[in-house]
Chain A
């Protein structure tokens, strides 16, 4: 049974969807953050891949590309002790409420 990301030859009859979505600003930032953190030696491509591969099949298939990167980035940053899940939860609340 191949792993969730190992897709070569998975049964799939879907046509190739050629529509392109315009990148949202948050996606652009995630893409950038990935490179910034890489340049600072805080993560590498292999770690990002490994973190994405640890998603469940359901997550892997339902989350968009940059949503997956966001989950992976959290995994890596928490793993390295840069931040905690609780801090991220709290920051989300703060940003929503406008309280920095």
Chain B
């Protein structure tokens, strides 16, 4: 989904809504602030998340930061490529955290959520509002 059509939270998460499934990631602005990411901890499917509450963590060389849920709902999938995992044939695959830097709005997505309350979408910002928010927080 083009960045113009995404919705944004003040805590720098983006949301792409498709039916009742929201794909959530963090913005290029957030990735730039965090710098040198080394580890991501993402919630397993089935986990219930609540808007405004931490649902995971990203760790950089200098700091560990919480990821805040932009919407409430149930996790249906997390981006396995961002975590150490095993391929179908059982070989271990290292986490590809560079996806967050190279493709924060696409391949670097974090989780997919079945949303509980569509009205919460209205509390999020559009692209223009978000860019203004970033400017004011710089």
Q: Do A and B bind each other?
A: no
Enumerate chain B interface residues (CB-CB to A < 8 A).
Answer: none
